[in-house]
A = this chain, B = another copy of it.
Amino acid sequence: MRCGVDIGGTNTMIGLVDPNGKVIDYDCLKTGKYELAFDLVVTIAYSILRMAKVNQTKIESIGIGCPNINPETGIVERAANLKFKGPVSLLTEFRRYFPETPLFFENDARAAAWGEAVYGSAKGLKDFIVVTLGTGLGCGIMADGKLMSGSRGMAGELGHVICFPEGRECGCGRQGCLEQYVAANGIYRTYTELCQQLKQVPKAGDYRSLSILAKAGDSIAIDTYQRTGKILGTALANMACCYDPSHIFIFGGVAQAGEVLMEPTRQAFEKNLLFCYKNHIKLELSGLMATSKNAGILGAAALANMQ
């Protein structure tokens, strides 16, 4: 059976995927607990070996999605949301435990696009974007049926498009990057700023409880998503000019907020779309979202299709 490993800024998800794209077993680790890649990988490896044993299956391939990884060398470097800043070779680390299993590495956000194509709503589509909103913002760009790489595998770093030149400071050392407004931490910051302006004590203590508050109808939480959606929708309208996709899929932990985020995003998107794209681009939630936590696992497992 295939194995998918999704190393994210907050959680690392590990799962077994059957040939029908069903996650039959999975584990979840807190990525932030591991200061060294060595420690994270040994824990992942034990998890995979345990699952293989329990489910009485052989591991055919392991796909690993990870921020800032070079797909060809398996080396991670300067990932803003990981504790190990690298450079560190995940290929070497995984090879210790899996000397002969085919290994596939890809930027986590790009793996999500592959997952959408193989297991999700993008089957048969040739030009689409998957925007992953989690701790950060990442993108996978499918162009004419191929995952766009650019000259050094760094195409689609849209979390770091500068939207507000004098805006919020970003972990990348610059100001006003998109992900500082529309990824989890950015949204939560918008919320606390709003509470401060309104002289209210924040009811939500973190991003997760904020999304629950918004769904429950809390007005400041809803206002937060309205503001977020306006920025996100405008940015997506600009992305339309860049890539002319037929579909844009929103994916990741933040997207689980659902319509409270999607409705204002869609409004701003349609409002700011250049005339020639109007009514031609579908903006929707990822088809993998129904499987919630397991979606990243599917993206990683789908990497075996890349060959």
Contacts and interface: CB of A to CB of B under 8 A. Distances in A.
A272 B174 contact: yes
Contacts of A81: none
> Which of A148, A241, A274: most chain B CB closer than 10 A?
A241
A201 interface: no
Contact of A154 (B158, B165, B244): B244
Task: Count the copies.
Answer: 2
Closest 6 CB pairs between A and B?
Answer: A150-B244, A151-B246, A127-B151, A155-B244, A154-B244, A157-B241
A148 B148 CA distance: 10
A150 B280 CA distance: 12
A163 B165 CA distance: 10
Nearest to A125: B151
A276 B157 contact: yes
A15 to B, nearest CB: 29
Interface of A: 68, 78, 126-127, 143-144, 146, 148-158, 160-162, 165, 172-174, 234, 237-239, 241-246, 272, 274-277, 280
Contacts of A165: 234
A237 to B, nearest CB: 7
A242 B162 contact: no
Contacts of A68: 276
B161 A242 contact: yes
Contacts of A246: 151-152
A186 to B, nearest CB: 17
Nearest to A156: B242
Nearest to A280: B152
B78 A150 contact: no
Contacts of A245: 150-151
A234 B167 CA distance: 14
B161 A238 contact: yes
A123 to B, nearest CB: 15
Given A158-B242, A238-B162, A127 B150 contact: yes
B275 A158 contact: no
A86 to B, nearest CB: 12
A26 B160 CA distance: 45
9 contacts: A78-B275, A126-B151, A127-B149, A151-B245, A152-B244, A157-B241, A160-B274, A174-B272, A174-B274
Contacts of A242: 155-156, 158, 161, 239, 242-243
A165 B127 CA distance: 27
Contacts of A276: 68, 78, 154, 157
Nearest to A68: B276
